[in-house]
Structure 1
């Protein structure tokens, strides 16, 4: 293919990566979800705002791209990884592990997660990643005997990992990471029930307790 056609695409890919890296660094130092601005990110990346908008559409598009880039390794581990995340794990344990992974990701990316969930409609349920987490968790919950309405239960459990709630607990109330993880694990276990005992029959489900 002629060089004049290859070079713009090569430049665009390089600029896109530069913008993502600049946004990543700036969000790590940000004080709130409204920071950094697109002007801050473009300046740090050494590109014009027009280049940023051509690559991502708007600030929300940039947030989604950065969030997805950070989230992809976590999602891959959750969908196919070793125990306790992998599919071979008992579904009760896997439900706890999936939600723990979501919580830890949002704790590690508090400003970015909050900015993304507050952008646009102001609802985390409109974000593309939410539908994927919900579908994964629902598929896990559907394997638990006696657990009714896996679809709604997946929504209810994911609500405990909303970015605004995580920010409230970890930021304003200064709750420690280990405590939040333990509290979430306990809550999930109360909803879905404990895993079957080793070499024993599976429990009938949450209603049997």
Structure 2
């Protein structure tokens, strides 16, 4: 599998939680996750309740509980699903998120996509990060960091890539996003615009 930047460095997708399921169970899982994602897109994460997902998917509430156990299980499954979708988009999706676009455009598209995902799953990500002092070594962030490394290299960045990649992604982490939303008082669009401005200033200074 090719790398996000097209250089042939393998970036395997995260394991699919539906692997090993019967076909009908896998279809039901995808139906429920699609319903939950639609609720987040339309009304925010707070709208994702077991009742609301069941109604949106046209199934009984018991089906949702049997599949995911509780709301936390549903949200974790949705987070995993969203991460796989983002990875797939980086690897082979349409530009600017996928291959074929200018590296600056790809980097900005990645940051905006990552921020959107962080906001959508903020509560779950905050809980998970509090229990993981080495969260930057998690496969999700390792994949993202490799992607940022490649794009910085394509942009001609000559500094230490590891430091730059952490600095670039820091405002997109859950704890930083929560601070910007709740303490600084920004909304998600303002965070995204400020982050993009920072990246453009960085890119202008490369060379």
With the shorter chain as reference, the TM-score category is 0.5 to 0.7
Report the counterpart of residue 202 of structure 1 in structure 2: none
Contact 1:86/1:94 (8 A) holds in 2: yes
Q: Provide the TM-score with structure 1 as the length reference.
A: 0.61
Contact 2:97/2:109 (8 A) holds in 1: yes
CA 1:18–1:126: 2 relative to 1, 3 Å: farther
CA 1:89–1:25: 2 relative to 1, 3 Å: closer
Contact 2:122/2:178 (8 A) holds in 1: no
RMSD over aligned CA atoms reads 3.9
The one of 87, 104, 117 equivalent to 1:75 is 87
In 1, the alpha carbon distance for the partners of 2:163 and 2:82 equals 27
Q: Offset at 1:11?
A: 6.3
The CA deviation string for residues 8-29 of structure 1, in whole angstroms up to 9 with x for no partner, is 9356546645764686688766
In 2, the alpha carbon distance for the partners of 1:151 and 1:95 equals 16
Report the counterpart of residue 165 of structure 1 in structure 2: 176
Q: Larger deviation: 87-96 or 60-69? A: 60-69
Report the counterpart of residue 143 of structure 2 in structure 1: 132
In 1, the alpha carbon distance for the partners of 2:64 and 2:112 equals 39
Q: Provide the TM-score with structure 2 as the length reference.
A: 0.62
* Number of residues of Structure 1 aligned to a counterpart in Structure 2: 179
Secondary structure of the corresponding residue to residue 143 of structure 1: helix
In 1, the alpha carbon distance for the partners of 2:39 and 2:98 equals 33
In 1, the alpha carbon distance for the partners of 2:145 and 2:100 equals 19
Report the counterpart of residue 84 of structure 1 in structure 2: 96
Secondary structure of the corresponding residue to residue 160 of structure 1: helix
Q: Could you list the runs of 5+ residues in structure 2 that have no partner in the other structure? A: 1-20, 55-59
In 1, the alpha carbon distance for the partners of 2:190 and 2:155 equals 26
The one of 135, 141, 154 equivalent to 2:165 is 154
CA 1:46–1:142: 2 relative to 1, 3 Å: same
The one of 89, 97, 106 equivalent to 2:109 is 97
Q: Offset at 1:144?
A: 2.4
Q: Could you list the runs of 5+ residues in structure 1 that have no partner in the other structure? A: 1-7, 195-204
CA 1:189–1:62: 2 relative to 1, 3 Å: same
Contact 1:60/1:119 (8 A) holds in 2: no
